[in-house]
Amino acid sequence: GVNFMDGSNGLAMGSSAIMLLGAAGVLWRVDPSQPFPGPAPDLAFLCVTASLAILGFLAWNLPGKLYAGDSGAFGIGALFGGAGIIVGVVSTIWTAAILFLPFLVDVVLTVLWRAKNGQSVMTAHRDHAYQLFLRSGWKHIPVAVLWWVFSWTCALAAMNVPDGLAMFAFFGLTVFGSALWFLQRLTLGRRLAAEGL
């Protein structure tokens, strides 16, 4: 998911930093006296450290001078995977999924949309929601900020929603994000298609 979203200055890296801070927040709420606190506190520290490194990288990434590339995106994706597994163990799988919704919603819906329309899901394209914004004339920073807001919303939900309600929060945020995705696709997407953009 990180690699798919790394086409707009600051979007993937800024969102990744926020998601990792959210994961750290969830991991830090683990009571160390529990029978299995496991690696949660150490992984929380790693998530914060990685987030700070990514925020430092934004000094070059946001103005479009340097990109994470495959190595950076895959490295962050691997950290997401590890953090997601541990968050799922110490909290719920729903909490872990909430953290990564800003990428999951767009990636999953875009792939399904392309498959439904008979387009290859294995070739490069410009159909992600952020790409539609850029193709319509939006600047990179407002697009990145839009994703950062959704990332903070999801991170705060993951950190604060009780485990027993995490499934409902996940589905609520998924429906909200999906509705925005479809609204954009049916308005801006159709306009761009009609204009040949």
Distance (Å, whole) CA 180 – CA 106: 10
Helix H, strand E, coil C: the string for the chain is CCCCCCCCCCHHHHHHHHHHHHHHHHHHCCCCCCCCCCCHHHHHHHHHHHHHHHHHHHHHHCCCCCCCHHHHHHHHHHHHHHHHHHHHHHCCHHHHHHHCHHHHHHHHHHHHHHHHCCCCCCCCCCCCHHHHHHHCCCCHHHHHHHHHHHHHHHHHHHHHCCHHHHHHHHHHHHHHHHHHHHHHHHHHHHHHHHCCC
The answer to whether 127 is annotated as binding is: no
The answer to whether 9 is annotated as binding is: no
- Asked if 38 contacts 90 with a C-beta cutoff of 8 angstroms, the reply is yes
Which residues are part of a known binding site for Mg(2+)? 3, 70
Which residues are part of a known binding site? 3, 70
